[in-house]
Chain A
Amino acid sequence: MSQDSSFDLVICGVGGQGIVLLSNIIGRGCAKADLEARTGELHGLSQRSGTIYIHMRIGKDNLSPLIPYGEADALISLEAVEALRYLEYLKDDGVIILNKRVINPPIEVAQLSKEKRTDFIKFDEIKEKLNVITQNIAPLPALDLAKEAGNPLTENVVFIGALSALKSFPLDAEVLKESVAESVPKKALDVNLKAFDLGYKAAYDSLCQTVECVERKID
């Protein structure tokens, strides 16, 4: 991969989903592959259940920690609603790797209760809105895949595997897997690598018709 290959990524979700670890795994991969990388992160008020995002920029040409509106190549959303919150950063026809899981914020639940309504925001409604900007959406049942891998806590690693399906993403699967291996406890390595592969496969299957994807054999 050349030093010029750049990639802008917005990672978002709900506090407590392991987003910082996710970006650190990618960052570690960049150090290995001798690629420049920088992030804009928010910590501090991000208690569990608040909205959280990290801007991650790979490549030496983009200097600022925040991605300009309309320039992100991909948006990975560990929770479905949150993808919509950061949509202005995504370029037209950019890729969204979207968790199918919706976590309803307490204020929404309470509001509906008070108004005696039951119309919670639904995954399909969100996806319909996202489709205005792009058709390249990979809906991932990430929590189910993580459980299938053997541990629901590997939900974030499912998304790293999904990213590895994109041909435009400057890090290849081997480097990313090495980073995962160095970042998770030894005894949890196998389940994490399995989560990685399941994420790759799910993203490949839903995107390969419209986006250039990396073909890889899964054992």
Chain B
Amino acid sequence: MAKEYLVNKDPKKAFMMSNEAMVRGALEADVKVISCYPGAPTSEILDTFFLLRNEFDYKFTTATNEKVALETVAGASMSGFRALTSMKSVGLNVASDAFFSLAYTGINAGCVMIVADDPHCHSSQSEEDGRFFGPNAYIPMLEPSNPKEARKMVKTAFEISERHKSIVVIRTTTRVNHQSGIVETEALNRTPFVKAKWSEVGENYFTVGETARQNKFKLLEKVKNIQIEFEDSPFNVISEGEGDIGILTSGVGYCYAKDACKILKINPKILKIGTPFPLPEKKIADFMKGLSKVVVIEELSPYLEHNAKRIAKDFELDVTILGKDAGHFSEAMEYNVPIVVMGISSALGIKSPIDYDGILKRANDLKTILPERMPCFCAGCPHRATFWAIKQAVRGRNVVFNNDIGCYSMAFFPPLNMTMSLLCMGSSLGLSAGMSQVLEDDVMCVVGDSTFFHAALPGLVNSVYHNLNITLFVLDNEVTAMTGQQFHAGTPEDRGMPEGKKRIIIEDVCRGIGVGHVAIMDSYDVKNNVDIIKEALDFKGPSVVISRRSCALHGDRIKRRTGVPIVQNEVDKSICKKPHTCIKDFYCPSFRFDSDDRAARILPEICDGCGVCAKICPFGTIHPIGEEAPGREVKQ
């Protein structure tokens, strides 16, 4: 998507991803402060605000984590400035401490949070249903189905937020965030950014003890008022149909339901819920009145289903509500049209007109020759080199390896297969604290540079304080690589960062809090790194090894910008003895071997020129194109 559609002042039709459409909606609402931590499927929101930072005068920060991001935008809102944050489902777990309290204190200027669930765990550790955060915290929630609605809802959310002095959550799922479509933008009328004075805008935002008790009563009143408003919200839409069967749905479920009805050639009455909290209970009751059956189509938990059952009981309606409880739909995984066709068929006791199982079986029978294509480290990725050295260093030792959230999670996959645990951001340090006290093994854990600042610091302080025997690897590739190479507190200042940012040096932090052994190594220097790692493992007490090298994708971009050539490598076939070390233990996507002589070959269109393969090749056969192979005698 090009910048032009986002910055264009006049209304226009444009093809946008929901994540971009939501940015446009916020810009149309004159948002002034944005703070986010990246996380799929929301990262493009942050990326788009970053891309446009010179086009507008808003304040944009990439926060160290979601809790800080939420507090940042809440602080701006309290000061009278419209503000927005976005995060993935598990990000709200991190931010939830502030989230619950903010419901009690309320806010001032419009404050909007985009929170994306990830049914199917496309890029998450768990399938969370974030809708329960609404009733749990008493914070209103809107849910779009497509990019058009996503833009509109974000814009409207600012008004709802301001009217009720409450944060408003836009709840999305991966299939909404990463759905592109035609969006009709509205006019962009931005006001200039001017600082305010607390004495003119500020109020009291305090909640504990007696104040909190009083706040709770006010909060209940607030939610009641929002519910009355939501009864007439244009986001809760009934489309009339025929017969006494209805469909209750929301989010992307609505899209699947509409397509499924077309395939099933049925035309039921449909209520699409756009305000999952507070629910328009009267509207739902009115919808169900006169229907004999209501099929509920929603991914993850039976949130609408259970509410509909309660509402039916409260309003004394004689209607059967069919969904997950009766086994027609699953609480696991994302849906698609065939799943919904089969679910509706099962609920209504009709036959699916299409044999989807047959189509899948036929395709699967043809796929027996299909090789897997699992995610792997990119060509030139420094993690591949770091893990190769770790693997050599731990040979003959009993080790436990606790993994964490980032590209390095892929150490779980072949050829490394070296992960004993992985929970959540920063968890490897906490788990290691428990294990190191009770296991005889060497306990190792790994975090990336961004994760280090996000959630690993408390765990590291803990291990220093208790003098725990843990070796932490910080894989410092200068950016938050996995989510799209965003900048963070540890990114060197000369990487194209906006001015005025201060880099925090990871080794200074480690030494500053008293880590007894801090080693820094170049990830590509694989041979020397083996001893550096062994030394850290031998150290009694907490030790940190910082393995440093630019993320290959980020590094390539810098090389292109600064005109540094990428020189690919090649294999000198005349001396290759075909042990396939480069293939079996390394899994670089640029490698294959020739069918006729089994000699290794590097695909120049994929090779990144890192040269790590040349260092691990026992015969010295790999060399940059245009140079000669060094050749090497194999040490016995």
Footprint of B on A, CB under 8 Å? 14, 23-24, 27-28, 30-31, 34-51, 61-70, 81-82, 84-85, 87-88, 103-114, 118-121, 125-126, 129-130, 132-133, 143, 152, 182-183
Interchain nearest-CB distance for A117 vs B (Å):
9
What are the nearest 4 A-B pairs in CB distance?
Answer: A44-B40, A27-B15, A88-B363, A108-B371
| Chain A neighbourhood of B370, CB < 8 A | 81, 84-85, 121
- Whether B363 lies near A64 (C-beta < 8 A) is no
Complex Cα distance, B263 from A87, in Å, reads 20
- Whether A38 lies near B179 (C-beta < 8 A) is yes
Complex Cα distance, B593 from A111, in Å, reads 12
CB of B345 within 8 Å of the partner chain:
no
Interface size on B, residues (CB 8 A): 74
Complex Cα distance, B369 from A39, in Å, reads 29
- Whether B262 lies near A61 (C-beta < 8 A) is yes
| Chain B neighbourhood of A63, CB < 8 A | 146, 254-255, 258-259
- Whether A106 lies near B588 (C-beta < 8 A) is yes
A56, closest chain B residue (CB): B180
- Whether B255 lies near A152 (C-beta < 8 A) is no
Name the contact of A44 in the complex, choosing from B122, B146, B263, B414 (C-beta under 8 A): B122
B374, closest chain A residue (CB): A107
Query: Taking each of B41, B337, B588, which has the highest tally of chain A beta carbons within 10 Å of its own beta carbon?
Result: B337
- Whether B180 lies near A39 (C-beta < 8 A) is yes
* CB<8 Å pairs between A and B, sample of 11: A30-B15, A42-B174, A43-B40, A44-B123, A49-B379, A64-B259, A68-B354, A69-B360, A125-B369, A130-B366, A133-B362
Complex Cα distance, B14 from A28, in Å, reads 7
Query: Taking each of A23, A30, A64, which has the highest tally of chain B beta carbons within 10 Å of its own beta carbon?
Result: A64
Which residues B471-489 have CB closer than 8 A to chain A? 482-483
| Chain B neighbourhood of A125, CB < 8 A | 369
| Chain B neighbourhood of A65, CB < 8 A | 146, 175, 179, 252, 255
- Whether A41 lies near B17 (C-beta < 8 A) is yes
Interchain nearest-CB distance for B573 vs A (Å):
15
Known contacts: A30-B182, A31-B13, A41-B179. The answer to whether A106 contacts B259 by CB under 8 A is no
Known contacts: A109-B593, A118-B598. The answer to whether A132 contacts B378 by CB under 8 A is no
Which residues B243-262 have CB closer than 8 A to chain A? 252, 254-256, 258-259, 262
- Whether A107 lies near B371 (C-beta < 8 A) is yes
| Chain B neighbourhood of A182, CB < 8 A | 2
CB of B44 within 8 Å of the partner chain:
yes
- Whether B17 lies near A38 (C-beta < 8 A) is no
Interchain nearest-CB distance for A126 vs B (Å):
8
Known contacts: A37-B181, A85-B370. The answer to whether A45 contacts B587 by CB under 8 A is no
Complex Cα distance, B484 from A47, in Å, reads 9
Complex Cα distance, B374 from A64, in Å, reads 27
- Whether A152 lies near B259 (C-beta < 8 A) is no
- Whether A120 lies near B595 (C-beta < 8 A) is yes
| Chain B neighbourhood of A70, CB < 8 A | 354, 356, 359
Interchain nearest-CB distance for B284 vs A (Å):
22
Name the contact of B593 in the complex, choosing from A66, A84, A113, A119 (C-beta under 8 A): A113
Complex Cα distance, B351 from A174, in Å, reads 45
Name the contact of A23 in the complex, choosing from B44, B180, B256, B589 (C-beta under 8 A): B180
Interchain nearest-CB distance for B610 vs A (Å):
13
Which residues B1-37 have CB closer than 8 A to chain A? 1-2, 13-15, 17
Complex Cα distance, B180 from A110, in Å, reads 37
| Chain A neighbourhood of B354, CB < 8 A | 68-70
Interchain nearest-CB distance for A14 vs B (Å):
7
Complex Cα distance, B31 from A181, in Å, reads 32
Interchain nearest-CB distance for B557 vs A (Å):
13
Complex Cα distance, B370 from A132, in Å, reads 15
Complex Cα distance, B337 from A110, in Å, reads 37
Complex Cα distance, B366 from A11, in Å, reads 19
| Chain B neighbourhood of A50, CB < 8 A | 373-376
Complex Cα distance, B123 from A159, in Å, reads 29
| Chain A neighbourhood of B583, CB < 8 A | 106, 109-110, 113
| Chain B neighbourhood of A30, CB < 8 A | 15, 182
Known contacts: A23-B180, A105-B373. The answer to whether A68 contacts B379 by CB under 8 A is no
| Chain B neighbourhood of A68, CB < 8 A | 259, 263, 336-338, 341, 354, 356
Name the contact of A27 in the complex, choosing from B175, B180, B367, B371 (C-beta under 8 A): B180
B407, closest chain A residue (CB): A47
Complex Cα distance, B338 from A39, in Å, reads 17
Complex Cα distance, B376 from A107, in Å, reads 9
| Chain B neighbourhood of A45, CB < 8 A | 40, 122-123, 375, 482
Interchain nearest-CB distance for B66 vs A (Å):
16
- Whether A34 lies near B591 (C-beta < 8 A) is no
| Chain A neighbourhood of B164, CB < 8 A | none
A105, closest chain B residue (CB): B373
Known contacts: A41-B179, A81-B371, A84-B366. The answer to whether A34 contacts B356 by CB under 8 A is no
Scoring B residues 586 to 616 as 1 if CB is less than 8 Å from chain A, else 0, what string do you get? 0111011101101000010110000000000
| Chain A neighbourhood of B483, CB < 8 A | 44
Which residues B202-257 have CB closer than 8 A to chain A? 252, 254-256
- Whether B587 lies near A107 (C-beta < 8 A) is yes
- Whether A37 lies near B182 (C-beta < 8 A) is yes
Other A-B pairs, 9, CB within 8 Å; known A30-B15, A39-B181, A48-B589: A30-B182, A39-B179, A45-B122, A50-B375, A63-B146, A68-B336, A88-B364, A106-B583, A109-B591
Which residues B379-407 have CB closer than 8 A to chain A? 379, 407
- Whether B2 lies near A183 (C-beta < 8 A) is yes
Known contacts: A66-B175, A70-B359, A106-B588. The answer to whether A38 contacts B146 by CB under 8 A is yes
Scoring B residues 567 to 590 as 1 if CB is less than 8 Å from chain A, else 0, what string do you get? 000000000000010011001110
Name the contact of A104 in the complex, choosing from B367, B371, B376 (C-beta under 8 A): B371
- Whether A41 lies near B580 (C-beta < 8 A) is no
B147, closest chain A residue (CB): A38
| Chain A neighbourhood of B605, CB < 8 A | 143, 152
